[in-house]
Amino acid sequence: MEGNSRVGGATGNSDDLAPGVQATPAERRLTYQGGYSVIPPNEKKRQQIIQIAQKEEKALQEHKQRNTQTSFNYVGTVGGGQVSQQESRSHLVQSSPNKVQRQLQQQQRKSFVKQKEEEDIVKHKAKQRAVAETNERRKQEEAASQQQRWDEQKRRTNDAFLR
């Protein structure tokens, strides 16, 4: 099976090439190296790739040289030049609320939401209280009418017994 793992000479048997020796250009594809086979690189292709890479590198360097920015001198001003640095800083301080103001605003929002929730709870409690009072009054009226019926029946029974 050793003869099948590599490409030998014209006869194809294992005695054609010694281990570690490269084959002739016609047999360049595989070389037996002990427990594995090696495919040697194609030098012609390698040289072409290296030449292309060198051309591209040279073109990149030329492009960089052509497109470099010329020197310039710019003195930047805060606010675009229309406003002085001090005015710009004071405007920045005034326009953005500081931490204390943000906390106060957040606290006001929370208290407003809490107040609305409490008002809703109070309304709900009042509604439930009214429902409970109505039910209690209805219950008392029903109990009173039942007591009246009971008394009426008791009186009739007593009258019927006494006659």
pLDDT tens-digit profile, the chain (163 residues): 444 444 444 444 444 445 555 545 545 678 888 888 888 888 999 999 999 999 999 999 999 998 887 777 766 655 566 777 788 778 777 777 677 788 888 999 999 999 999 999 999 999 999 999 999 999 999 999 999 999 999 999 999 988 7
Distances (CA, A) of 31 to 12, 21, 34, 54: 13, 7, 10, 31
User: Cα 153 from chain centroid?
Assistant: 79
β-pairing verdict for 31-32 and 37-38: antiparallel
